[in-house]
């Protein structure tokens, strides 16, 4: 096999020169979670549009909570809910909360996550569940969602949000979750029978989805941090000489940083959705006004460029008038009295016979029109008569058939 490949290579080298290879954009597809650089966390797209850090964090927490609640009501597995929350977090590190509404993006995230995790659900169910969550949160009377034009528009927005998420993620929808790692690590530490330890570590993991921990650290570090927090809370001793987390190649500094970020989540006050919506709406109005002003400026700049490029811009008013006169076609005479004398003579010299012939041709045309109208009326009347007659015959046939049927029944009864 090796000799044949070498011979083929020599033939290609001796023959014609090979075509130059095309260069494409760099695409990296791995089974590892994509971690974002530190520069993205310092200035997100929402902060560029004027949204402060605290409001942005509250919006992220609110979106993740809605996805978690909707997943429970839709009876989706925890993996699908976690995937949807990861999609939401990743999306808003490339797009702004001001330009893209959070609720629609949350619907698109969980809808896409249900497909990826092979537990698909209908868009109608997702919209109904989010409508129910909003009513419960606002303490309103629970009423079903009416299928009208607003519902159709919302459905289209959810489909567009799903496509937008796919585009921003580069269709790389794979997410490696640390939930299985917790079970494996506890089995290695011989604590798999301790249900309290496993359940608390799992709870810390689900709460960590509302933070930016999954965008900063790999899942192995997060799994070790959840076990570390649970052991500290329960008071369970873990191997210390050497440290147990060195077995999984995780540094202690990263574990402590992840633990601090998870614990800071519990110190935050409860999120008020109405205040967040009012802040986002105010910034959205400012953004739309600036966009409108920018569009007007662009139009004016384009108009000025066209004027500068056109040759008639440098000419004076008098030269413009001369050009218009040359370009304008000669106007026809206003009436028969403004025409030339030759045409007047022609009109006067017309004989009375010619005038009579023109009059007779006009009368002939009008008579032919009247005849066509009469014929069309007669046709319509004939059609109406034929329909009426056909109906009468049909009624007669039906009556006759019904009588025959009655006679046959009477004969059978007599027999």
Cis peptide bond N-terminal to 242, omega within 30: yes
User: Could you tell me if 40 and 93 are in contact, meaning their C-beta atoms sit under 8 angstroms apart?
Assistant: yes
Position 224 pLDDT exceeds 50? yes
Position 65 pLDDT exceeds 70? yes
Residue 10 confidence (pLDDT): 43
55-59, 68-72, 117-121, 355-359: which has the minimum mean pLDDT? Answer: 355-359
Residue 5 confidence (pLDDT): 42
How far are the Cα atoms of 63, 283, 293, 301, 302 from residue 296, in angstroms, in the given order?
35, 20, 5, 9, 10
Residue 81 has, within 13 A of its CA and on its CB side, a CA count of: 23
Residue 260 confidence (pLDDT): 94
Can you spell out the DSSP letters for 349-383? Answer: T--HHHHHHHHHHHHHHHHHHHHHHHHHHHHHHHH
Residue 336 confidence (pLDDT): 47
Residue 139 confidence (pLDDT): 86
Residue 40 confidence (pLDDT): 87
Alpha-helical runs (H) found in 217-272 = 219-234, 252-267
Q: E strands within 58-107?
A: none
Position 388 pLDDT exceeds 90? no
Residue 179 confidence (pLDDT): 84
Q: For all residues of the chain together, what is the average pLDDT?
A: 80
Percent of the chain with pLDDT over 90: 36
Burial class (CB in 10 A: 0-12, 13-18, 19+), 229: buried
Residue 112 confidence (pLDDT): 95
Residue 102 confidence (pLDDT): 93
- Mean pLDDT in residue range 188-210: 90
Question: How many beta carbons lie within 10 A of that of residue 178, not counting itself?
Answer: 26
End-to-end CA distance of the chain: 98
User: Could you tell me if 208 and 86 are in contact, meaning their C-beta atoms sit under 8 angstroms apart?
Assistant: no
Residue 242 confidence (pLDDT): 82
Residue 77 confidence (pLDDT): 93
How far are the Cα atoms of 62, 91, 216, 265, 389 from residue 165, in angstroms, in the given order?
18, 6, 20, 26, 67
Cα–Cα dist 319/321, whole Å: 5
- Mean pLDDT in residue range 60-67: 94
Residue 264 confidence (pLDDT): 93
> Residue 213 corresponds to which tokens in the numbers above?
């921990």
For residue 80, give the 3-state DSSP assignment. helix
At residue 188, φ and ψ (nearest 5 deg) are -65, -35
Can you spell out the DSSP letters for 30-51? Answer: -SSPPPPPHHHHHS-HHHHTT-
Residue 414 confidence (pLDDT): 62
| pLDDT per residue as tens digits for the range 128-177 | 999 999 999 888 888 888 889 999 999 999 999 999 999 998 888 888 88
153-162, 191-200, 361-370, 384-393: which has the minimum mean pLDDT? Answer: 361-370
* Helices and strands (H, E) in the chain, number of each type: 17, 0
Instruction: Please state the length of the chain.
Output: 415
Burial class (CB in 10 A: 0-12, 13-18, 19+), 90: buried
In the DSSP assignment, the letter for residue 415 is -
Cα–Cα dist 395/389, whole Å: 10
Ranked by mean pLDDT, the top range of 336-340, 364-368, 370-374 is 370-374
Q: Which positions ≥6 away from 323 have C-beta within 8 Å?
A: 312, 315
Cα–Cα dist 117/1, whole Å: 43
| pLDDT per residue as tens digits for the range 70-111 | 999 999 999 999 999 999 999 999 999 999 999 999 999 999
- Mean pLDDT in residue range 229-246: 87
Residue 208 confidence (pLDDT): 93
Q: E strands within 278-331?
A: none
In the DSSP assignment, the letter for residue 240 is B
Residue 328 confidence (pLDDT): 53
Residue 142 confidence (pLDDT): 87
| pLDDT per residue as tens digits for the range 301-357 | 888 888 887 654 444 555 556 665 555 555 555 444 444 444 444 445 455 555 555
Domains of the chain: 38-169 (1.10.472.10), 178-266 (1.10.472.10)
């Amino acid at each position: 096999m090796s000799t044949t490949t070498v011979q083929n290579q020599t033939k290609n080298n001796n023959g014609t020169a090979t075509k130059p290879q095309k260069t494409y954009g760099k695409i990296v597809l791995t089974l590892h979670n994509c971690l974002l650089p530190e520069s993205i966390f310092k200035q997100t797209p929402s902060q560029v549009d004027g949204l402060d850090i605290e409001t942005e964090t509250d919006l992220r927490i609110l979106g993740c909570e809605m996805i978690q609640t909707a997943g429970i009501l839709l009876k989706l597995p925890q993996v699908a809910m976690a995937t949807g929350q990861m999609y939401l977090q990743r999306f808003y590190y490339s797009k702004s909360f001001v330009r893209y509404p959070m609720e629609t993006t949350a619907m698109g995230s969980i809808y896409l996550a249900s497909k990826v995790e092979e537990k698909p659900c209908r868009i109608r169910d997702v919209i109904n569940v989010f409508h129910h969550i909003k009513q419960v949160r606002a303490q309103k009377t629970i009423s079903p969602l009416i299928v009208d034009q607003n519902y159709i528009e919302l459905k289209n927005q959810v489909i567009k949000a799903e496509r937008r998420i796919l585009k921003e993620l580069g269709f790389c929808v794979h997410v490696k979750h640390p939930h299985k790692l917790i079970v494996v690590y506890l089995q290695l530490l011989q604590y798999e029978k301790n249900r309290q330890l496993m359940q608390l570590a799992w709870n810390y993991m689900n709460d960590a989805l509302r933070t930016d921990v999954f965008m900063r650290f790999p899942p192995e570090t997060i799994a070790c941090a959840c076990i570390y927090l649970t052991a500290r809370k329960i008071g369970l001793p873990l191997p210390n000489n050497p440290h147990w987390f060195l077995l999984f190649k995780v540094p202690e500094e990263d574990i402590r940083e992840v633990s601090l970020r998870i614990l800071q989540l519990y110190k935050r006050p409860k999120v008020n959705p109405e205040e967040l919506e009012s802040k986002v709406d105010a910034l959205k109005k400012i953004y739309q006004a600036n966009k409108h002003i920018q569009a007007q400026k662009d139009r004016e700049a384009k108009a000025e460029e066209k004027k500068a490029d056109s040759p008639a811009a440098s000419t004076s008013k008098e030269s413009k008038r001369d050009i218009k006169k040359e370009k304008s076609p000669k106007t026809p005479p206003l009436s028969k009295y403004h025409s030339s004398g030759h045409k007047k003579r022609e009109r006067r010299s017309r004989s009375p016979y010619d005038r009579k012939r023109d009059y007779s041709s006009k009368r002939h045309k009008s008579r032919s029109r009247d005849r066509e109208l009469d014929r069309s009326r007669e046709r319509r009347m004939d059609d109406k008569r034929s329909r009426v007659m056909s109906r009468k015959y049909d009624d007669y046939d039906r009556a006759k058939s019904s009588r025959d049927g009655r006679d046959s029944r009477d004969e059978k009864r007599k027999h």
